[in-house]
Structure 1
Amino acid sequence: MKVFLGIFVLLESHKPYLAMLSIQFVYAGLALFSKASIDKGMNPCIFVVYRQAFASLVLAPFAFFIERKKAPPLSFILLCKIFLVALCGITLSLNLFYAALNYTSATFAVATTNTIPAITFIMAVLMRIESISIKNQYGVAKVLGTVTCVSGALIVVLYKGPSIKFMNWYPSVHKEFSHSSVINCSPKMEWVKGSLMMLSANAAWSLWLILQGPMIKMYPAKLRLTNIQCAFSCIQSAILASALNRNPSSWKLGWDVHLLSVAYCGIIVTGITYWLQVWCIEKKGPVFIALFTPLALLITAIFSAFMWKETLHWGSVGGAILLVGGLYGVLWGKKKEKEVETAGPNEPRQNEAKEEIRLECITHQ
């Protein structure tokens, strides 16, 4: 009995760690299932429509019942602002992300998501939401981390390098990590185009993260705000998909990988994972959540090696290491900056926009 009680206590104290590990598996599955569905012929724009539809339906009852007393009334001007934010952020980001999967791999997609904190930091500095001070150790760490992260992304995009021989499990029909499988069957410019689209998707997502601060000030019901943006994104993506694809049969969903993928991304990723992240943030804080982000890259690379028979390459691995190292540099700098700000009794509290960016930087595609 004491043994079971000890195990229960141990699991109880490690709940946040287990939750974050589960979340990284979920995010790895997002890239893998999405890649599988698009490779099987599903139109990327239509994929976004169905994903956002599932997400809206899942979040709607929670948003209605949990925040029915908290949510302020919606004016027409506020709805227009939410519509534009969803268009510039969610719709643009997701459509670019899934279109880029045509030219890249699931592993590369997950690898480039590690650039989101760095891109968000750069945008926040340009908008004067974040500040840079190289006089302090944490300021230098943020700058060097951002540069390292962006450099790693460029290496992953532009340099493949020799293959890792001991990881070549399928020598006769192997595919290469990141972009090599694309290069084998299409011109190099196709790969570059896909890479730039993926980075543009991350930039659009970073812009959306920054805009969430002002939006939450105007409409503090976060769950309803997320639900409304998902619904608007679904409508916008449906218009885009209808304009680009006139074939009605491409909208059909059967009991296959297409239905599984959109349901997984909409219900599991947007619905369940959202709540797990919020719970972990309350327990451990946003920096703790962000530290687990690179695990999704490792998990995706391992599963891709078996599912897609991809072979790792030294150049791609080196770029991924720089990505992760730069991410940790930025996070460490932010953590130290926050500690310094909260240590002084006379220091003013940071504005809510900064806090929202810190929190939202850990969210995924």
Structure 2
Amino acid sequence: MDTKNAYVVAIIIQVIYTGMFVLIKATLNQGFSTFVLVFYCQAAACLPLVPIAALRERRNARSMSFMLLLKLFLCALLGNTFSINILNASLKYTSATVQSAISNSKPVVIFCLALVLRMEVVKIRSSYGIAKVTGVALCLAGVFIIAFFTGPSLSPVNHHHAFHGHSSSNLMSRGTWIKGTFLKLLGDIAWAMWIVFQAALLKEYPNRMLVTVTQCVFGTVQTGVVAAVAERDIARWKLRLDITLVTVLYSGFVVSGLSNYLQVWCMEMKGPVFLAIWFPLGFVFTMFCSSFFLGEVIHLGSILGGILLTGGLYSVLWAKSKETAIEPCSEVNAIETFEIAYDEKEEKKLEGDQKKDKEEHEGEASITICN
């Protein structure tokens, strides 16, 4: 039953992210500020998390040092503030379809980051190493095709779309489109770095709930400061009873709350690779929904780029799954690799401390004998 539920949950997660792309794009099309929207979404995510964490962890929580708080602050700056603002800006400059397509590169970006940090090894002469390199090349090719090749356009599924706005990706210049595509890639790189750094933080302070909530609070303050500097017109901060309010509540409660819980459950049941292989389904959902609800014109370049990104994703995931099956002790993903390296470092440090204590104890014993 749990195995069957995992498939249903994986599909639900993709549906949730499809709704996020479409709603945020609809809000931005109405001219709402990206910076203010990010702040409201972060604040909405904090509303349920803070009281839940206070009730759940009030007896088990241990104090955080200043250095740990500083690390959490910097992590929030990277993952909650910089990454999300960049991703929303890229969505404003492109389309929901492009955002969903390039999201398929996230596992590949994490793999490349692990390779740079020497957490991952590529054996070029092996078939699995060739598959990894091919996957990275396909992802890069997909991004460049989306950025530089438009091709023929497909007519929207529904000409009387539900969400209207004065700006649309259909009217954007080529330069704006290219900028938005590479901003999306930059945002995904920042997100991947944030994911990897999370492993070290959780080793230092193994309380996932408090680490998440603390970063969420820091992120809310940081995005609030950024929005205040970027948007000084108070009229740009006004929330109306329209799609903007729906987007804020949906991003805060459904995406940051329900979706994150479902992803953790799904990964515990079937592993991170199982969750990643469903990303292309979100691309298909978003392509249809953005055309139906937003009236976006889908270009052949976006479809071809999405196909290449999907191929690159599956190539890397296939190689990793085969290596894991052959070498059970090998790393499953970048995060686990980081944790293994961190554990070895801590173990060596602990052995050194024990050796030092032993020497000091022997020294004290010899002094006692002499006396």
Both structures adopt the same fold (TM-score exceeding 0.5): yes
Equivalent position of 2:336 in the other structure: 355
Correspondences of 1:102-117 after superposition (within 5 Å): 102-117=92-107
How many residue pairs were aligned? 334
Q: TM-score, length-normalised on structure 1?
A: 0.85
Other structure's SS at 2:240 match:
coil
* Match 2:151 to one of 150, 161, 165: 161
Equivalent position of 1:140 in the other structure: 130
Other structure's SS at 2:94 match:
coil
Paired with 2:204 and 2:178, the residues of 1 have a C-alpha distance of: 39
Task: Compute the displacement of 1:186 (Å).
Answer: 3.7
Paired with 2:281 and 2:157, the residues of 1 have a C-alpha distance of: 22
Equivalent position of 1:274 in the other structure: 260
* Match 1:57 to one of 47, 56, 63: 47
Counterparts in 2 of 1:25 and 1:186: CA distance versus 1, 3 Å: closer
- Could you tell which deviates more after superposition, 333-342 or 35-44? 333-342
Correspondences of 1:121-140 after superposition (within 5 Å): 121-140=111-130
The residue type equivalent to 1:118 in the other structure is V
Equivalent position of 1:3 in the other structure: none
Correspondences of 1:311-330 after superposition (within 5 Å): 311-330=297-316
**1:242 maps to 2:228:** yes
The residue type equivalent to 1:355 in the other structure is E
Q: Percent identity?
A: 39
Task: Compute the displacement of 1:71 (Å).
Answer: 4.0
Equivalent position of 2:326 in the other structure: 340
Equivalent position of 1:228 in the other structure: 214
Paired with 1:55 and 1:168, the residues of 2 have a C-alpha distance of: 33
Conserved 8 A contact 1:67-1:221:
no
Q: Deviations over 1:70-105 (max 9, x none)?
A: 544211111011101111222111101111222111
The structure with the larger Rg is 2
Conserved 8 A contact 2:94-2:181:
yes
Other structure's SS at 1:134 match:
coil
Paired with 1:36 and 1:49, the residues of 2 have a C-alpha distance of: 17
Q: TM-score, length-normalised on structure 2?
A: 0.84
Counterparts in 2 of 1:136 and 1:69: CA distance versus 1, 3 Å: farther
Root mean square deviation, CA, Å: 2.4
Correspondences of 1:2-81 after superposition (within 5 Å): 14-68=4-58, 70-81=60-71
Paired with 2:137 and 2:244, the residues of 1 have a C-alpha distance of: 38
Counterparts in 2 of 1:350 and 1:312: CA distance versus 1, 3 Å: closer
Q: Deviations over 1:140-180 (max 9, x none)?
A: 2222111111211111111111234xx55468x99xxxxxx
Paired with 2:128 and 2:335, the residues of 1 have a C-alpha distance of: 16
> Any gaps of 5 or more consecutive residues in structure 2?
162-167, 340-371
Paired with 2:215 and 2:156, the residues of 1 have a C-alpha distance of: 43
Counterparts in 2 of 1:230 and 1:67: CA distance versus 1, 3 Å: same
Equivalent position of 2:273 in the other structure: 287
Q: Deviations over 1:190-237 (max 9, x none)?
A: 222222221111111111112112111112111221111111111111
Counterparts in 2 of 1:238 and 1:336: CA distance versus 1, 3 Å: same
The residue type equivalent to 1:28 in the other structure is T
Counterparts in 2 of 1:352 and 1:196: CA distance versus 1, 3 Å: closer
Correspondences of 1:256-267 after superposition (within 5 Å): 256-267=242-253
Other structure's SS at 1:102 match:
helix
